[in-house]
Amino acid sequence: MKSLRWINYILILVFLTSCGGTSTGDDGGIVNIFSDSTPTAVLPTAQAKVTPAPDAQAALTQYLQAYQKSDFAAMYGMLSKASRELINQEDFAKRHNDALNTMSASSVEFTVNSALLSPYAAEVGYNITYKTVLAGDIQRDIITHLVLEDGAWKVEWVEGMILPELAGGNSLAMEYSIPSRGDIYDRDGNPIVSQAEAYAFGIQTDQIDPELSGTLVTDLGRLCGLDPEYIKDQIEASGPGWYLPMCEGTKEEAARLLSISPGGLVYTKYESRYYFKTGLAPQAVGYTQLISPEQMDAYRRLGYNGSEKVGQTGIEKWAEDYLAGKHGGVLRVVSPTGQPISTLGQSSRQPADSVYLTLDENMQYYAQQAIEYFRGAVVVMEVNTGRIIAMASGPDFDPNLFNPDNPNNMALNQLLNNGNQPLLNRATQGQYPLGSAFKPITMFAALESGLYLKDTTYDCQYEFKELGEPILRDWTWQHCQDAIAVGEFCDDSSTTPSGLLTLQEGLMRSCNPYFWHIGLDLYNYDRKTDIAKMARAFGFGSPTGIGEIEEVSGQITDPVADLDAVNQAIGQGDMQVTPLQVARYMAAIANGGTLYRPQIVEKIQPVEGDPKLVFRPEATGTLPVRTENLEIVREALKMVTQNPRGTARWNLRGLQFDVAGKTGTAESGSGKSHAWFVGYTLNEADTGQPDIAIAVIVENIGEGSEYGVPIFRAMVETYYYGSPQSVPPYGRVGEPPYTPTPFGAGNFAP
């Protein structure tokens, strides 16, 4: 196409030599270079002056700039009247968009060159380069015609302006070569997502064998992670003749069920991108779906043919470039009858990479089991690296339902309309007040202010009257009222005031009046923002930087009144934090003061060769606290779990491993309180296993000591033993809970 540029230059020289080209006289006279007759120069008289035409090169530049942005409406608005009569705007946009998509054009570059002008017509040369993903760079030199209409240059459009080869009704065709999508594994290489032969299981209610109905619901419950009683309820509610979708499994996972094949069991085999165990960490791993109409252009420009399933959320979305591999293709020009005319470019496909996550399959499984029947989240993180070992959000969901080839796909609408929002990753996108689990932050602010020492005492009674109005009450007061309501006495450590406490004991007992006093004290000593600043230094109010999955920032504001200050001191008010931020904050206390960026990707592994990306710990900050104060708070967090009066001691009895942490019962604003427990292990020297930080929240359930602590314990036992060893007061992990006694000897609230 370079020859076209030379022809253009020669034409200019010929016109300039024979008739002065587009040059003007001293008076601005213009030579008509497009007349069939011999050009005649305009005489340099005042009466012969002609108003110069607008810049045709600028007009074409504007047109091509709109092309770069795929602003086809703007392009169409710059066409001549005759061109618009030949093609409507919809067809015009479609031809350009189809060409760009078929080429896999990621961008368009151009330079506008020479121009030949007359008062009412112009020829402008330009060079255009399509940067394509599959066919390389496609570069052409093109000359286009413009006409002057209503004082503005308008483009006389022909299909050859896209590519000269498209003149005469030719079109583009891409022959695609698509690699198989990559797999996702846990850190030890156990599959989380892979291409597999799967079975969709369900129940045909009119085929149930009464003698084997118990086996049916028990084994299906085991495979699907469902309570057998729930399956029974579904059968009874549906009546005879219904198909109830249950779950999916591989032949190996469903071996027992397939061998028994009880009456009423229905299964269909299909090929699938399969999510093992009905989805491990589904909110973090994400799911794939067919490319939507809204996404089509973007993916076509990346070299997709439009039929692929692509990552829509989580790791599947973040790692799309790795998991999809590199598509290959051959770009051809074809005649109106579909016959190949020429090849414009081609490339070979390259295999996809696999993604290894930092998650531990077993820890993840039991974390999901622990939160299964609640709304809430569990985050487990190595304290010295930021590596995420487990991230569970309850309720979870089965990402296999998004596959349209799955017969159980009929349950997708029910999932999408579930009021409990199972698609929401509460670990990174749930925002909550932290309640008493925030009190270590307040304690750090108190110590760093110099106004408090670890032995500074405060008399912790039922009521806090330092504000005048309103009078605030400790959690022990509410426990006493609950005891009286059922005819019991306020005569134990959970229903009587805590009395005179040191600062460390105040944290151990989670004394609200003590921490209200600290918040008010700092506020009145013109240290109004100390607690808020300390919270931000611990990572609250801003994203953690995890990057691979979506997260929100939460909120920490400066108090504007004394009531704001006392509320903030116990983790209430307008505070909003995420469970991931909380796990990171506990990890920083545990490791001696370093904030690490949480990470969930261990490595990106190609089919051959070294990993493309490898996990490396990344420190992002250091806590602004003195070493001695850090140790004071760490001692107090151990007292919470080990001292007989500690708020977490009762439900940690018999645990064979040292842990530290803090309970939290956060008022939610509606319904029951949120139950928190946040803490870490202290056993690396003895076990050789890295210590971990754990954050647990259960929404609108009650007290942190009764719900948060047992789930924390289950995670610690799973980490060291491989599975939970104890039975929480509300029932076994993975089974529907029953309501525990809300108070009594040894049970604590905050």
Judge whether residue 627 has pLDDT over 50.
yes
Sign of the dihedral through C-alpha 222, 226, 229, 235: negative
In a shared domain, residues 473 and 610: yes
Domain count, the chain: 3
Q: Could you tell me which of 150, 149, 142, 126 has the C-alpha nearest to residue 80?
A: 149
Task: For 19, list phi and psi in degrees, rounded to 5.
Answer: -145, 15
Pick from 108, 137, 168: which residue ends a domain?
168
Q: Could you tell me which of 195, 260, 200 has the C-alpha nearest to residue 224?
A: 200
End-to-end CA distance of the chain: 77
- Residue 479 domain flag: yes
Sign of the dihedral through C-alpha 439, 445, 448, 450: negative
Judge whether residue 248 has pLDDT over 60.
yes
Helices H / strands E in the chain, number of each? 25, 27
When computed from its CA atoms, the radius of gyration of the chain, rounded to whole angstroms, is: 35
Res 746: pLDDT: 40
The pLDDT confidence band at residue 60, using thresholds 50, 70 and 90, is very high
Res 36: pLDDT: 38
Contact residues for 58 (Cβ-Cβ < 8 A; gap 6+): none
The share of the chain scoring above pLDDT 90, in percent, equals 80
Res 21: pLDDT: 38
Question: Which carries the bigger pLDDT value, residue 613 or residue 740?
Answer: 613
The share of the chain scoring above pLDDT 70, in percent, equals 91
Nearest-5° angle of CA 698, CA 554, CA 284?
60
Judge whether residue 53 has pLDDT over 60.
no
In a shared domain, residues 144 and 199: no
Sign of the dihedral through C-alpha 694, 699, 704, 708: negative
Sign of the dihedral through C-alpha 644, 649, 650, 655: negative
In a shared domain, residues 136 and 199: no
CA trace torsion 377, 380, 384, 385 (10° rounding): -80
The pLDDT confidence band at residue 600, using thresholds 50, 70 and 90, is very high
Identify the helix (H) or strand (E) that includes residue 218.
Answer: helix 213-224
Contact residues for 93 (Cβ-Cβ < 8 A; gap 6+): 72, 73, 76
What are 181's two structure tokens?
Answer: 């999508």
Mean pLDDT of 320-340: 96
The pLDDT confidence band at residue 189, using thresholds 50, 70 and 90, is very high
The pLDDT confidence band at residue 119, using thresholds 50, 70 and 90, is confident
What is the model's pTM? 0.88
In a shared domain, residues 124 and 34: yes
Residues 281/392, Cβ–Cβ less than 8 Å: yes
Taking only the tens place, the pLDDT of each residue in 283-297 is 999 999 999 999 999
Judge whether residue 664 has pLDDT over 90.
yes
If phi over 0 gives left and psi between -120 and 50 gives alpha, with beta otherwise, what is residue 650? Answer: alpha
In a shared domain, residues 558 and 618: yes
Res 517: pLDDT: 97
Res 40: pLDDT: 37
In a shared domain, residues 583 and 439: yes
Res 239: pLDDT: 78
* Mean pLDDT score of the chain: 90
Res 52: pLDDT: 52
Secondary structure letter of residue 358 according to DSSP: S
Res 733: pLDDT: 72
What is the residue-wise DSSP string for 589-656? Answer: HHHTSEEE--B-EEEEE-SSSS-SEE----EEEE-SS-HHHHHHHHHHHHHHHHSTTSTTSGGGTT--
Residues 731/376, Cβ–Cβ less than 8 Å: no
Q: Which residue is it, tokens 């032969």?
A: 197
Res 741: pLDDT: 44
Taking only the tens place, the pLDDT of each residue in 541-577 is 999 999 999 999 999 999 999 999 999 999 999 999 9
CA trace torsion 326, 327, 332, 333 (10° rounding): -100
Rounded to whole angstroms, the Cα distance separating 426 from 697 reads 9
Res 257: pLDDT: 87
Contact residues for 203 (Cβ-Cβ < 8 A; gap 6+): 216, 220, 231, 234, 235, 243, 244, 246, 264, 265, 266
Beta bridge partners of 108: 130
Helix (H/G/I), strand (E/B), else coil: 22: coil
Nearest-5° angle of CA 373, CA 377, CA 382?
135
If phi over 0 gives left and psi between -120 and 50 gives alpha, with beta otherwise, what is residue 596? Answer: beta
Res 45: pLDDT: 43
In a shared domain, residues 94 and 243: no
Res 33: pLDDT: 35
Judge whether residue 276 has pLDDT over 90.
yes
- Residue 408 domain flag: no
Nearest-5° angle of CA 660, CA 665, CA 668?
140
Helix (H/G/I), strand (E/B), else coil: 413: helix
In a shared domain, residues 568 and 521: yes
Secondary structure letter of residue 104 according to DSSP: T
In a shared domain, residues 93 and 220: no
In a shared domain, residues 52 and 200: no
- CATH code for position 550: 3.40.710.10
Res 738: pLDDT: 60
Rounded to whole angstroms, the Cα distance separating 224 from 151 reads 72
- Residue 373 domain flag: no
- Residue 531 domain flag: yes
Taking only the tens place, the pLDDT of each residue in 737-746 is 765 444 333 4
Q: Which residue is it, tokens 């998004």?
A: 402
Q: Report the Cα 297 to chain-centroid distance in Å.
A: 22
Q: Which residue is it, tokens 């001191």?
A: 569
- CATH code for position 123: 3.10.450.100
Rounded to whole angstroms, the Cα distance separating 224 from 235 reads 16
Q: Could you tell me which of 104, 77, 97, 707 has the C-alpha nearest to residue 347?
A: 104
Q: Could you tell me which of 162, 68, 62 has the C-alpha nearest to residue 106?
A: 68
Beta bridge partners of 377: 393, 697
Rounded to whole angstroms, the Cα distance separating 35 from 567 reads 86
What is the residue-wise DSSP string for 75-108? Answer: HHHTB-HHHHHHS-HHHHHHHHHHHHHHHTEEEE
Helix (H/G/I), strand (E/B), else coil: 543: coil
Residue 56: count of CB within 10 angstroms of its CB: 25
Question: Which carries the bigger pLDDT value, residue 213 or residue 96?
Answer: 96
Secondary structure letter of residue 733 according to DSSP: T
Res 503: pLDDT: 98
**Least confident residue range of 26-30, 364-368, 555-559:** 26-30
Pick from 230, 246, 279: which residue ends a domain?
279
Res 406: pLDDT: 92
Whether omega before 470 lies within 30 degrees of 0, making that bond cis, reads yes
Helix (H/G/I), strand (E/B), else coil: 181: coil
In a shared domain, residues 211 and 152: no
- Residue 120 domain flag: yes
Residues 690/384, Cβ–Cβ less than 8 Å: yes
Res 251: pLDDT: 87
Taking only the tens place, the pLDDT of each residue in 249-271 is 988 888 888 898 898 999 999 98
Pick from 635, 652, 669: which residue ends a domain?
652
Judge whether residue 29 has pLDDT over 80.
no
Taking only the tens place, the pLDDT of each residue in 30-51 is 333 333 333 333 434 444 444 4
Residues 599/353, Cβ–Cβ less than 8 Å: no
Rounded to whole angstroms, the Cα distance separating 665 from 677 reads 9
- Residue 346 domain flag: no
Residue 526, domain extent? 435-652
Mean pLDDT of 411-415: 93
- Residue 576 domain flag: yes
- Residue 173 domain flag: no
- CATH code for position 200: 3.90.1310.10
In a shared domain, residues 199 and 66: no
Taking only the tens place, the pLDDT of each residue in 212-245 is 889 999 999 889 888 898 899 989 888 788 999 9
The pLDDT confidence band at residue 6, using thresholds 50, 70 and 90, is very low
What are 689's two structure tokens?
Answer: 């296993």
